[in-house]
Amino acid sequence: MANAREIKGRIDSVRNTKKITSAMYLISSAKLRKAKEGLAKTRPYFDATEHEIKRIFQSTNEVDSHYFFPKEKTKEVRKQAFLVITADRGLAGGYNHNVIRAAEEEMKKHRNVRLYVVGDYGRRYFKKHKGPIEETFYYSAQDPTFHRAREISALLLDEYDSGRADAITVIYSDMESELSCVVRKARLLPFSRKDFLEGEEESTDKEFRFEPSPTSVLDSLIPSYVAGFIYGALVDSFSAEQNSRMNAMSNANRNAEELLTRLKKEYNRVRQAAITQQITEVSAGAKAQRMRRLKKAKQRMEEK
Amino acid sequence: MNSFNLRIYESDGVFYEGEVIKLTIPAYDGEYGIWAGHENVVMAVVPGILRFTTFEEKTYLASVSNGMFRVEDGDVLVLVETAERPEEIDVERARRKEKEARDAMQEKKSLREYRLAEMQLKRELVRLKLAGKEMLED
């Protein structure tokens, strides 16, 4: 059994760690709330944009934009671009690993893949494993803002417009419930008409005049739509990250709690044993002294 | 006077929602005015100054960026990436950003950066114009 001072030292260190993990838990829950508020604010704009794109399709057939799958599926998708969203830091359970594993699986399916990585963790991982990184975005995972999303979408749209990428896929995490998060893959570009034509059937008998043309209206909407989609993915990932961290930290807190009870019990046992031993020693010493005194007194009596 | 319902959504929230009498929007070929009973139309919005007048005969100005607007049965929806009231504009900051954008365009880095800087410059110029207008009216 370790001695009391050693155990005391361990208790102190576990306590300190627990302070840190519970602080991280609180920080994560505050960040999660803030990110969700931000997303709720952009919802009306994003939903309205999606709705308008849908409507443009329903009211006219003459739309032809290179952002859409060609009507006849002739063009083969060769050059893939993946936007992989990871966190800047670890300590979030399996969050980062799940995203990276999903990205690697997807990469095996296609030959010509380039990566656009958000988050320091993913950047370091793919660098170390010689992944085909094309562009990384520093610190965008930390604080998702619409401004950042617009920068990312401008870059991706540029790659797409110039033909350096035929398809853009986003790999991100989403909170499924309080306890679990899932990795999602979504094709961002090209859009398929089906995605927009499906869903609620609107009355299309209303006549709209498009100025200067439906395609030009659509082209001015699409960058916002893409930015909105990326923003949504960034916030979902950020929420999932904070949620994973909260779970990881609450597990750590629980483990620390268990460890502390065990250590305290052990400490008390050691302390008790030490006290018992001391009492035994003292009483044994006292007894020995008394015996000596008695012996001496006896000797004196005999001398007299 | 007849009024119509106007909604202005920007990317991080609802900018305005309510009844107005008159609305002027910057469009690709100049300013586009809307009164109650306008025909149904969908049009692209370019960076510029948007103006609307409420019941109390008060006119509000706002600088807007790219987007679109739609008139549907007398209901007007404006979708723009950003919209700002004159009092929200920080003139010093806008001047600084304008200069930064001009410098970035001079540096000729890449086409993408050039375009981003160009967009930024457009936005800042609209902001400065709006802020200047506000001062004249005061």
From A218, which residue of chain B is nearest by alpha-carbon distance?
B44
The pLDDT tens digits along chain B (138 residues) read 788 999 999 887 889 999 999 999 998 888 899 988 888 888 888 888 999 998 888 888 898 888 888 888 888 999 888 888 888 887 888 888 888 888 888 876 777 777 778 888 888 888 888 877 665 554
Given A249, A266, A285, which residue is the final one in a domain? Answer: A249
Highest mean pLDDT among A58-62, A158-162, A267-271, B67-71: A267-271
Asked if pLDDT for residue A142 goes beyond 80, the answer is no
Residue B41 contacts A where some CB pair is shorter than 8 Å = yes
pLDDT in tens, A83-124: 888 888 877 778 888 888 888 888 888 878 888 888 888 888
CATH of the domain at A81: 3.40.1380.10
Report yes or no: B101 and B127 within 8 Å, Cβ to Cβ: no
Q: Are A93 and A48 contained in the same domain?
A: yes
From B47, which residue of chain A is nearest by alpha-carbon distance?
A220
Determine the average pLDDT of the residues in A142-150: 78
Q: Are A187 and A274 contained in the same domain?
A: no
Give residues with Cβ within 8 angstroms of B17, minimum separation 6: B6, B7, B8
State residue A152's pLDDT score: 87
Whether residues A150 and B112 touch (CB distance < 8 A) is answered with no
Chain A residues with CB-CB distance to B11 below 8 A = 42, 45-46, 146, 224, 227-228, 231
Asked if pLDDT for residue A42 goes beyond 90, the answer is no
Q: Are A187 and A226 contained in the same domain?
A: yes
**What six digits make up the tokens of A114?**
């380039």
- Percentage of chain A surpassing pLDDT 70? 87
Residue from B7, B42, B46 whose CB has the most chain A CBs within 10 Å, to mutate: B42
**Shortest Cα distance, chain A CAs vs residue B106, angstroms:** 20
Q: Distance from CA of residue A142 to its chain's centroid? A: 10
State residue A13's pLDDT score: 94
Residue B30 contacts A where some CB pair is shorter than 8 Å = no
Q: Are A98 and A242 contained in the same domain?
A: yes
Q: Are A129 and A39 contained in the same domain?
A: yes
Give the structural domain span for A84: 21-249
pLDDT in tens, A66-91: 777 665 555 566 788 888 888 888 77
State residue B138's pLDDT score: 44
Asked if pLDDT for residue A1 goes beyond 60, the answer is no
Rounded Cα distance between A90 and A31, Å, is 16
**C-beta atoms surrounding A289 within 10 Å:** 10
From A219, which residue of chain B is nearest by alpha-carbon distance?
B44
**C-beta atoms surrounding A107 within 10 Å:** 19
Q: Are A45 and A58 contained in the same domain?
A: yes
Q: Are A89 and A156 contained in the same domain?
A: yes
Given A226, A249, A272, which residue is the final one in a domain? Answer: A249
Q: Are A201 and A186 contained in the same domain?
A: yes
With 0.80 as the threshold, say if the pTM is over it: no
Q: Are A147 and A177 contained in the same domain?
A: yes
Q: Are A164 and A243 contained in the same domain?
A: yes
State residue A19's pLDDT score: 94
Residue A44 contacts B where some CB pair is shorter than 8 Å = yes
**What six digits make up the tokens of A287?**
């007894």
**Tally of domains in chain A:** 2
Q: Are A8 and A28 contained in the same domain?
A: no
Which residues lie across from B24 on neighbouring strands? B33, B51
Report yes or no: A84 and A103 within 8 Å, Cβ to Cβ: yes
**CA-CA-CA-CA torsion sign (A185, A190, A191, A194):** negative
State residue A16's pLDDT score: 94
The HSE-up count of residue A99 (CA atoms within 13 Å, CB side) is: 34
Q: Are A175 and A293 contained in the same domain?
A: no
Rounded Cα distance between A233 and A146, Å, is 11
pLDDT in tens, A229-258: 888 888 888 888 888 888 899 999 999 999
